[in-house]
Amino acid sequence: MKNILITGGAGFIGSHVVRLFVNKYPEYNIINLDALTYAGNLENLKDIEKKANYNFVKADICDFDRMKQVFLEYEINGVIHLAAESHVDRSIKDPFSFAKTNVMGTLSLLQAAKLYWNGNYEEKLFYHVSTDEVYGSLGSDGFFTEETSYDPHSPYSASKASSDHFVRAFQDTYGMPTVISNCSNNYGSYQFPEKLIPLFINNICNDKPLPVYGKGENVRDWLFVDDHARAIDVIFHKGVIGDTYNIGGFNEWKNIDLIKVIIKTVDKLLGRVEGTSEKLITFIEDRAGHDFRYAIDSTKLKEELGWKPSLQFEEGIEKTVKWYLENQKWVERITSGNYKKYYLSMYNKEI
């Protein structure tokens, strides 16, 4: 049996990865490690929490002694590292917490793995999940490839770039088998509603303003979270040790155009005249260090490992909007903080 440690498994992307691995690989023992900060929610995994091959550990990746214990207790031979502070606006206000979690937390895991594996790297893998934001910003043309130089512009992307470098350093210095993926913006179910798509869906439902930075001209590539989980599965099992893989959705959208698609979809599903909620768009001062455009070239992943996205954006966004409309109680609990009660009911402890 493979004992796979998935960090950040109660978060948005992590919960989808945990669910996929638990259901697809009953012969694996999946250990979901999460500190259950504001974005981690065990309700995201209610459907698999009773599975025999699922284990939950509440712990902070920055707690090095605890990480050493986890590797020893569960005999970890594979790591999929997703735990991270990820919201750019938060990083601008509090860069220290991003450096702590994303840099020192990753280093804590790497060192714990190195000590436990003790040079025996056969059938071992440390898979680090990163972001396209480490590459900086693109102009109107071109794409990020695996060869693009790093040029981070925000405290968040700088912290992720640093963690990427530490992963590669452990491979080069100690021979640890590692792999890295850099993904574009994700969307889908269970995303904490500080991020653009769930925030705007919620605001449209409640007739609240839709804050748009600048003129909404910034461009992002959007990836459906289930497709990202599938890509992680493929890379974990088939990726070349020491390689980097870019994961993108081949879905570039200007923010303002994306927002209008969300408005149209929500209005339609709520029985409103399509476009009615465009009146809620409110342009605000642009964000400091706001990258103009991200665009991922996923050719390597497609040609070498056979992965490709399953959905185009319009189809994916309709599925996503439907999920949030059908799960308003989840949205209410997550925005009010009442999701913490679920952990209390499960473990008789406060988060």
Q: What is the CA radius of gyration of the chain?
A: 20
Question: 213 forms bridges with which residues in the sheet?
Answer: 284
Say how far apart CA 286 and CA 132 lie, in whole Å: 21
49 has catalytic annotation = no
* Beta carbons of 226 and 15 less than 8 angstroms apart: no
Question: 180 forms bridges with which residues in the sheet?
Answer: 128, 244
DSSP per-residue codes, 179-204:
EEEEE-EEESTT--TTSHHHHHHHHH
332 has catalytic annotation = no
Positions of E strands within 195-332? 210-213, 219-224, 244-247, 252-254, 281-284
Spatial strand order in the sheet of 78-81 = 54-58, 29-34, 3-7, 78-81, 125-131, 178-183, 244-247
β 125-131/78-81 pair status? parallel
Q: Choosing from 132, 221, 227, 252, which is the catalytic residue?
A: 132
Amino acid at 65: D
* Beta carbons of 159 and 99 less than 8 angstroms apart: yes
Helices (H) and strands (E) in the chain — how many of each? Answer: 13, 12
156 has catalytic annotation = yes
Name 9's Cβ contacts closer than 8 Å, sequence gap at least 6.
15, 17, 18, 30, 32, 33, 34, 45, 56, 82
CB hemisphere CA count around 300 (13 angstroms): 18
Q: Choosing from 54, 121, 156, 187, which is the catalytic residue?
A: 156
Question: 181 forms bridges with which residues in the sheet?
Answer: 129, 245
Positions of E strands within 231-316? 244-247, 252-254, 281-284
Q: Choosing from 60, 85, 133, 252, which is the catalytic residue?
A: 133
Active centre residues (catalytic): 132-133, 156
